[in-house]
Amino acid sequence: MKILQKLAVVVAAMLSAALVAPSAQAQTIPTVQARNVVLIHGAWADGSSWSEVIPLLQAAGLKVQKGIVLNEFLQTTEPDVYAAGDAAEFFNPALTKYIRVEHEDNANTMGRVAGLNMAGKSEAYHHLPFFYSDLFELGYEAVGELDAQLETFADWKTPFREGVVYYLRDGRVRGVLLWNVWGQVDAARNLISESGPFKADELKGRLPKPS
């Protein structure tokens, strides 16, 4: 209950900052008794919308790094407090690292698991999210770690129009960019989960998998 009271004060402080006139913001924020508190915060954007929230969450006892640090059940460092979506930093077994993902697939899937666990289940979140975008006749779906500093191998069917770009580190596939290649997200996830080792040219023709 104590941590929920702290978070209730965080919520009250945020609402006060947003809604109360600057001359009135110096007033004391009252403690709120609460059984459940849901804090919904908007998109990460350039970080400016988040910077004032971080010290409030830290003061409430939560660990915040690139995002709110979670265990595999989406609990924060306070076990009665859960997080999901853009603000959440979680360990992904396929990438063997903590990640934070700002996109629809992660928000929807993680939110569902967090809700189930808050309701009493113990479902681990090991999902590797994908993200996507479209521009006229071009589009992509991407999975994992897309970092220009990694080794890359491009397998084009039509140069710069249709193909797959692989991102590798130490012989393992860490990310896959599916450029105008559709229905291969799960196959890309499976490839990222494989321990390898892979040489870049061994990936030619690996995706797309036949449907």
pLDDT digits (tens, 9 = 90+) for 7-28: 544 444 444 444 344 444 455 6
H runs (alpha helix) in the chain: 2-19, 53-59, 104-118, 185-193
Range of weakest confidence among 37-41, 56-60, 100-104, 189-193 = 37-41
Note the pLDDT tens digit of each residue in 29-39: 667 666 666 66
C-alpha distances in Å from residue 66, one per residue of 25, 62, 169: 28, 13, 22
Q: Domains of the chain, with CATH numbers?
A: 2-118 (3.50.50.60), 130-203 (3.30.390.30)
